[in-house]
Amino acid sequence: MKLTVGKMVAKQMLNAKLTVVEEHPVLTAECTDYYAWTHKIEACQSLEEITDLIKPKYKLKYMQLLMESEYIMHKDVGNLIIYCWDYISTLAYNLYFTKEMFLRFIVNSDSQNFMTPSDMEILRQLPDEIVVYRGATNGSKMGMCWTLDREIAEKYAEKYSANVYQASIRKHYVIAYMEQDKTIILPYRRLENLHLA
């Protein structure tokens, strides 16, 4: 039933009446044929495959529409968020989801399914209390993406004219580790000893 709902929602997005192809959630300049896209959606075997067809800036909109169905659970949306992390982490807090909703979905996800074996091994070897860093303004310091590497946080701080924050978190609260930027995804309410680095 989840897959059926996912296909139905994708087709709704496909039928969006927009005159500019670049602004369409699904259609591309290379393929504006609705029939071909309907066939692609029907051929999908998972929500992840369907999500791959949606343009990056509309992926969260797709997830929001999925949540309107009684058959799609927070865990399903959380798994899609983790699956699409590279596309949507910078779009996370927008008109589709509040920060709290986004965190709730992530916490309910099977995030370990999306970590590589080496990511899982790195996370396993980390100490029980992990020191993390974040380049952010005062208003955005309570985010979900932190890094193990202070230099990476400093680059973000420099890029956005922000500060570097340091905190610690107990390993069992960590949602996921990703080697790119040595990212730790965490529930920010569990941070301890938060201060300017």
Per-domain residue ranges of the chain? 2-112, 115-196
CB of 65 within 8 A of CB of 13?
yes
Residue owning tokens 């995030």: 111
Q: What's the pLDDT tens digit per position in 15-50?
A: 876 555 667 777 676 777 788 888 999 999 999 999
CA distance 145 to 165: 12
Largest CA distance in the chain: 55
> How far is the C-alpha of 59 from the C-alpha of 55, rounded, in Å?
6
Q: Is 79 exposed, middle or buried (0-12, 13-18, 19+ CB in 10 A)?
A: buried
Instruction: Report pLDDT digits (tens) over 104-158.
Output: 777 777 776 668 899 999 999 999 999 999 998 877 888 888 999 999 999 989 9
Would you state the pLDDT for residue 121? 94
How far is residue 163's CA from residue 156's CA, in Å, rounded to a whole number?
Answer: 9
Q: Is-contact 112 176, C-beta < 8 A?
A: yes
Q: How far apart are CA 11 and CA 15, in angstroms?
A: 6
What local confidence, expressed as pLDDT, does residue 193 receive?
A: 95
* Radius of gyration of the chain from its Cα atoms, rounded to whole angstroms: 18
**Does the pLDDT of residue 182 top 70, yes or no?**
yes
- 93-98, long-range: CB < 8 A, 24+ apart: 94/60, 96/60, 96/61, 96/63, 96/64, 97/60, 97/63, 97/64
pLDDT reported for residue 94: 55
The CA distances from residue 28 to 110, 123, 187, 188, in Å, are 31, 39, 36, 37
Sheet strands side by side (includes 145-147)? 176-178, 183-185, 145-147, 129-136, 163-170, 192-196
pLDDT of residue 92: 47
This prediction has a pTM of: 0.70
